[in-house]
Amino acid sequence: MTDPACAWTATTSANWIQITGGTAGTGNGGVSYTVAANPNPASRTGTISVGGQSFAVTQAGTGIGVSLPAGLTALRNSTLNVPVNVGSTTGAGIIAYDFRVTYDAELFTPLATPFDKTGTLSSGFEVNVNSSTPGTLVISGFGSTPLTGMGALLNLKFNTVGDITECGAFNFTAFQFNEGNPGASTTNGQGCVVSGTIAGVVTYANAATQTFVPNVTLTADGSIDVTDATDANGEYSLSGLGGGAYAVTPSKTGEVNGAVSALDASMIAQHVINLIALNAVQQASADVSGNGTLSSFDAGLIAQYVVSLPNPGNAGTWKFTPAVRNYASVEAHQANQDYSTILMGDVSGNWTAPGAPPPPASFVMADETAADNADAPQTAESENENSINVRFGRARSGQNGELNVPILVSDLTGKGVYSFEFELEYDAESLVLEQSAEVARLLELTDTLGGGANLSFAVNPLEAGKVRVSAYGVAPLNGEGVLLNLKFRPNSSGRASRASELKWTNFRFNEGERKARLRNGTVTIGGRKKSDTDSK
């Protein structure tokens, strides 16, 4: 009660306290006030004075966040670092802290010194710990200079003793700065025992310079199956593995990129009769029959592969060394787990990785000559010297009514042509090609460059209207003229046209280093064959 005649006023010493009602009066009365939000982690106290009497107003601070990270990992039987992270401590006047953390003692055991203050906010503090109770750490820290900054207050240190893939919680059961001011809000964390990684590089064995192989699948078979694929640099890394033994197997399909050719068959044939000597890697690539030795049979299998004829060989598949790597455990990291690989059938070693600059085109159509020369660095004269002209000659009738269509080439002398392969299309309504892989039914080799050089052939009619041919020998072709004759018959059941176009879709001498300049042609049924050029 106040004397009814007594006058009073209300004032405050703090700018964060605002008196909103009853700032002055006589006798009894009331005073109302509001407070602004406290932006600081520590609490603060201000006063309101009324008629000579003071009243304390204490406002709690925002508190400081204290957290243990989730997603911590460490290898089995290694050290797990658990940082105690705090928000900004600057200006909070913190000169001491005390806290308790629990953990799974079956997964983690504290180190002999279970903390590290190096590089933390506590680097200038005295820190004491009690780790005598399994599953609990009690930590106390103090100093004469208040903490400043934010980040790791202290690092806790544990040894991981649990099994791979097991995880356990780290929980605060108590935390206090000073004697409770500023306040603290805690967040718990988790740690997991993980396996090591298996990493390495895959390279191409049959290459003059180091060549990396992308898109190789590495499969780790174990308690948890894991796969990865090599990148553009041939690198892979297998992580997230489980406990126990593992076997890692590399594999790859496709991406032959034209590396297997009739020239590879020629190199095998030359090696068999001791004209050339293949090195060990080349011999491994050449053994497409898989019997451990080289013979002309391997050459024949490659020639069949080139024209897509089914055969029991493994040309076009990938072989790795080692074929598999075994690991008793993956508790530790396994680096430099490299593999080398070969593409079966690529004896010359001309395979290029996807994304690498493509090799020059192996052929060009005659009407594209001008554009091709415009892009080429050499002169037109040197271009003509390095290239080989290919065209169709005049068709002639055989004894059984077939049409023999000659393929003519310019001079091959001195150009080192050991092999060639091609694909062409024809009008199946006008012409019929025997649907057989027997060379005698499809090709006439008498008095031809191919026949005279004792070439071996593989022919695939593919489908009506398309044929593919590969040929190879042990000696280079010489001279000019008829390379071989294709054997057609007029189609008596189709809507035969008097003129049937012959159209190249692919041609390659050796592996394309000698460019073929092609001209399409037209066969006139019942008359002579016309070529779209008269030049050789």
Q: Give me the DSSP letters along 264-333.
A: HHHHHHHHHTTSS---HHHHHHH-TT-SSS--HHHHHHHHHHHTT---S--TT-EEEESS-EEES--SS-
Taking residues 452-463, report their average pLDDT.
84
Residues 208 and 110 in one domain: no
Domain that holds residue 34: 7-59
- Whether 505 is in a domain gets the answer yes
CA distance 332 to 207: 33
- Whether 417 is in a domain gets the answer yes
Domain boundary pick from 169, 194, 219: 194
Residues 472 and 523 in one domain: yes
Overall number of domains in the chain: 4
Residues 16 and 72 in one domain: no
Residues 46 and 150 in one domain: no
Domain boundary pick from 194, 228, 243: 194
Residues 53 and 121 in one domain: no
- Whether 212 is in a domain gets the answer yes
pLDDT bin (cut points 50, 70, 90) of residue 289 is: very high
- Whether 312 is in a domain gets the answer no
Domain boundary pick from 177, 194, 211: 194
pLDDT computed for residue 528 by the predictor: 47
pLDDT at 529 over 50: no
| Stated pTM of the model | 0.77
- Whether 394 is in a domain gets the answer yes
Residues 439 and 482 in one domain: yes
Residues 403 and 487 in one domain: yes
pLDDT bin (cut points 50, 70, 90) of residue 49 is: confident
- Whether 261 is in a domain gets the answer no
For residue range 319-339, list pLDDT tens digits in order.
999 999 999 999 999 999 999
User: Bigger pLDDT: 491 or 342?
Assistant: 342
Share the mean pLDDT of the chain.
Answer: 89
Q: Burial, 350: exposed, middle or buried (Cβ in 10 Å; 0-12, 13-18, 19+)?
A: buried
Looking at 203-212, 255-264, 398-407, 510-519, which range is the least confident one?
398-407
Residues 86 and 217 in one domain: no
- Whether 372 is in a domain gets the answer yes
User: What percent of the chain stands above pLDDT 90?
Assistant: 68
Residues 494 and 377 in one domain: yes
